[in-house]
Structure 1
Amino acid sequence: MSRLVIKAWAKTLRRSLSERSVADVVGLLSMILGEAVDEGLFGSNSCRNPRLNSGDQPERPHAEADEVTALAERTPAGNPVLIVTAAYTGMRWGELAGLQWSRVDLDKQEIRIDARDGALHEPHGKLHLNPPKTPAGVRTVHLPTFLAEQLAELAVREADRAVRVHRPGRRPAPPLHFRRRVWLPALQGDTTLGWAPIKPHMHFHDLRHTPKTRLIEDGVTEVLQHKRIGHKFRGVMGVYSHVTRPMVDAMLAGLQARCEQYGSKTL
């Protein structure tokens, strides 16, 4: 198995998988081959550091604040909270879909993403509450006042439900169901209602680009940016930089001001 063969295989994988998934698959193969080398089954690991060339990747879209409001207004009851929370917190789909009210502290205005069952996953077509995608996903997500108030209103109406989809005794709605029934119609618009299309090729995951971009605009420190969206801050800065309450308060003030400028649907 030559390095050229591995690179050609990776190129084939890209036809149906994301770059991250391709990297994970190739990385797993490298680990397996590495073990085989250690056991004397192979002379070398031809998959070690293959330097995969993914080519130029198109820039993913992100939603502006007014577009977030418009998308939320186009969705059925119970769904606007998902759109707005995703766009202002950077939480992943699984973190939102599996979020339980017991993890939402409205007095402290924060959401806790638990290390044991902080995200909804769909392995082999079955939905389960499991740990977040990465260890960095275990975090406290601080909420601007407007979002805490909207969640409080929703909690009064649906206290027996999860924030989004999971009701005790019922099977949670899968991501594909949400995409077809809620997300795509909101993006595509409806001429009879005067709704113009909003970036029809935008994925729900692209809403994670929105808060990241806003935080950069507001001058939020990089360590808090990473913490906010559940990414590990690597390198020396990641070791010696820490999030403080004044940093969080300044960030929340910026998010609150943005909402007051563009408005947000009452949930």
Structure 2
Amino acid sequence: MADLRRSFRGLEPPKNEQSARDIDVPPFLAELLGKHLASWPYDWVFCTQTGKWWWRSEWFRVIRPAADGREARPRARGTAVKEAWEPITPGLTMRDLRHTHDTYQAEDDVNPVLAHEQSGHKYPGIKGTYQHPTPAMRKHRLKALQRRYERALKNLGWKAIWES
């Protein structure tokens, strides 16, 4: 089992064989992940700079400050100088991100069976038993996510990484 985990290049190790699954990513995200993985020396796609697992506490210690902004901090014993940065989205939570993604899927007319799968849930009732995501459903969602990304960049006056 240890050898399998070492050769597995993914988001995190699956809990068991049945929970391992492929994920769909739109072209912009595939491009970003490809650039990240080209020089990333660790087995896991998202981990610390030393290859260790991100713990929940890292959200509040490392990631959340990027959303909330940070005041400049001078050099102190044991810590380096830290420059200030402006808030991106003050108060952002993981829950907000999950709900926003679900809302975008509804707005983009993503089939509910596929939207539930994306959230890690089974579609309720008999439809969840008989209906399954199809390649056409997946393609529709990926196109919608790509359009949403391109529209956001255009609104910000930015260019996509492949246009730079």
TM-score normalised over the length of structure 2: 0.69
Matched residue, 1:48: none
TM-score normalised over the length of structure 1: 0.45
Letter in 1 for 2:86: W
Please list, as runs of the form range in 1=range in 2, the aligned pairs for 1:114-125 lying within 5 A after superposition: 117-118=13-14
Please list, as runs of the form range in 1=range in 2, the aligned pairs for 1:178-217 lying within 5 A after superposition: 178-183=59-64, 185-190=65-70, 195-196=86-87, 198-200=89-91, 202-217=92-107
Cα 1:249–1:171 change in 2 (3 A) is closer
Q: Deviations over 1:169-223 (max 9, x none)?
A: x64242203321222x1221247766246241x3224322122111100011110
Q: Determine helix, strand or coil for the equivalent of 2:22.
A: strand
Distance in structure 1 (CA, Å) of the matches to 2:124 and 2:99: 19
Quote the RMSD (CA, aligned, Å): 3.3
Matched residue, 1:160: 42
Does 2:137 align with 1:255? Answer: no
Q: Does the CA contact (< 8 Å) of 1:161 and 1:167 recur in 2?
A: no
Matched residue, 1:102: 8
Q: Does the CA contact (< 8 Å) of 1:146 and 1:256 recur in 2?
A: yes
Q: Does the CA contact (< 8 Å) of 2:105 and 2:115 recur in 1?
A: yes
Following TM superposition, by how much is the alpha carbon of 1:253 offset from its aligned partner in structure 2, in angstroms? 0.2
Q: Does the CA contact (< 8 Å) of 1:101 and 1:159 recur in 2?
A: no
Distance in structure 1 (CA, Å) of the matches to 2:68 and 2:48: 27
Which one has the largest radius of gyration?
1
Q: Deviations over 1:141-195 (max 9, x none)?
A: 1110110111110111114342111689x64242203321222x12212477662
Does 2:25 align with 1:143? Answer: yes
Q: Deviations over 1:69-119 (max 9, x none)?
A: xxxxxxxxxxxxxxxxxxxxxxxxxxxxxx988345xxxxxx8x7xxx32x
Q: Determine helix, strand or coil for the equivalent of 2:23.
A: strand
1:239 to 119, 129, 139: 129
Please list, as runs of the form range in 1=range in 2, the aligned pairs for 1:13-92 lying within 5 A after superposition: none
Cα 1:230–1:173 change in 2 (3 A) is closer
Identity %: 28
Q: Does the CA contact (< 8 Å) of 1:101 and 1:162 recur in 2?
A: no
Distance in structure 2 (CA, Å) of the matches to 1:197 and 1:179: 15
Unaligned runs of 5+ in 2: 73-83
Unaligned runs of 5+ in 1: 1-98, 105-110, 119-129
Q: Does the CA contact (< 8 Å) of 2:8 and 2:43 recur in 1?
A: no
Distance in structure 1 (CA, Å) of the matches to 2:88 and 2:140: 34
Q: Does the CA contact (< 8 Å) of 1:160 and 1:167 recur in 2?
A: no
Q: Does the CA contact (< 8 Å) of 1:101 and 1:163 recur in 2?
A: no
Does 2:81 align with 1:175? Answer: no
Cα 1:177–1:167 change in 2 (3 A) is closer
